[in-house]
Structure 1
Amino acid sequence: MTRWARCFWGEEAVWFYFELDTDGHVIRQVELQEPGSKALAAASLAEWQEAQRDGRLAEYEGVYGLTAELPISEWEGHDPQWLSANEFHVVWSTARRQLQDRQRRRPS
């Protein structure tokens, strides 16, 4: 069963949004820097694995970042707030758009 959650990391003022599989492993992850909810990452494990297979890993991570390797249940001190699928998808699509727009504006 897929679940969605968010956690706040106060030391860095970053919100982490997660789409999780049944075992709590991250399928998709968004990182938003406060203030202003600046997108730092919006990575998909499946996309990351595909980029790795295709030799495009550095390019993928340069735009979208990467997902956490440990299940969030192993993160100390981060009490997740559970979200609906729709709440996660709104954050996901907004962050992806921000990162893609930022990539397009970078000089070649």
Structure 2
Amino acid sequence: MTTWMRCHWDEGDTWFYFEVDSDGWVIRQVELEGPELIPVAAASVAEGQRARDAGRLDEYDGRFGITAESPVSEWEGHDPEQLTFEEFEEVWGSARRRIASRPG
């Protein structure tokens, strides 16, 4: 079952939003920094794989970032807040639009 969550990292004043599959792996990830909640990442595993297959992974990572590389069950010190699909989608859509509109 897919789940959605967010957690805050105080040291970097960053909100992390995650879409996680039934095995605990991140499918999509958004990172919003600072009090202005500026999107610095909005990455998708599927898109990253397509970019890698096309030889454009560096370009994709440079624009949209990367997802967590270990399952949620292995993370220490995070206190996730559960989200609905709709809540995640709203943040995802907004972050993607803002990142995509920046000069490449």
What TM-score comes out, normalization by structure 2 length? 0.96
Deviation at 1:73, TM superposition (A): 2.2
Runs of 4+ that moved beyond 6 A? none
Percent identity, please.
57
Q: Secondary structure at the match of 1:99?
A: helix
Q: Distance in 2 between matches of 1:35 and 1:75?
A: 25
Is 1:20 the counterpart of 2:20? The answer is: yes
Q: Distance in 1 between matches of 2:7 and 2:24?
A: 14
| Structure 2 stretches lacking a partner, 5+ long | none
Q: Secondary structure at the match of 1:69?
A: coil
**1:57 corresponding residue in structure 2:** 57
Q: Distance in 1 between matches of 2:15 and 2:29?
A: 10
| Structure 1 stretches lacking a partner, 5+ long | none
Is 1:36 the counterpart of 2:36? The answer is: yes
What TM-score comes out, normalization by structure 1 length? 0.93
The CA RMSD over aligned residues, in Å, is: 0.8
